[in-house]
Amino acid sequence: MRRLGGVEDEEKWLAEGIAGIQHNAFFMHRALDANNLREVLKYSALMLSELRTSNLSPQKYYDLYMRAFDQLRQLEIFLRDESRHGLPVVDLYELVQHAGNIFDHLIVSIISYRLGPLQL
C-alpha cells in the first residue's frame, strides 16, 4: 500500500490492523484451548504479520504492536508448559526456525528470555 499521509487513511490502516490481530488472536486462543501447537503457531504468525506495515506513524504502530504483544502473553504461557504441547524447548526452537519473517525471531526471543538459555 502507498502511504497517502491522511489522518483518515492512517486510522483506517490502524483499524484494519487491529481487526486482523483480533481475528487471528481469536483462532490462536481456540488452538491454545485445544493444545494444538501447529494451529497456535499458524495463527500467531498470521497475527504478527499485521505488524508488517509502513503506513502508520510511530504512535499508531506502537498501538498496533502492543495489541499483538498482549496476545502473545497467552502464547508464552502455552510454550512454557511442555505438558500442553509435548515438545521440549530445544524442539520448539528447531520448529520455529522454519517459520518465516519476524515470527521465528519473536518466538525464539520469548522462549530464550523466559525459559533461560537453550542448551543446544
Higher pLDDT residue, 36 or 5? 36
What is the rounded CA–CA span in Å between residue 23 and residue 109? 24
pTM tops 0.85: no
Residue with cell 499485521: 50
* Structure confidence by residue, pLDDT tens digits, 49-98: 898 888 999 999 999 999 998 998 888 888 877 777 777 777 777 766 66
Q: Supply the pLDDT for residue 2.
A: 45
The full set of domain ranges for the chain reads 7-115
The pLDDT of 92-109, averaged and rounded, is: 65
Distance CA 103, CA 43 (A): 11
Contact criterion met (CB below 8 Å) for 52 and 5 = no
73: enclosing H helix or E strand: helix 58-80
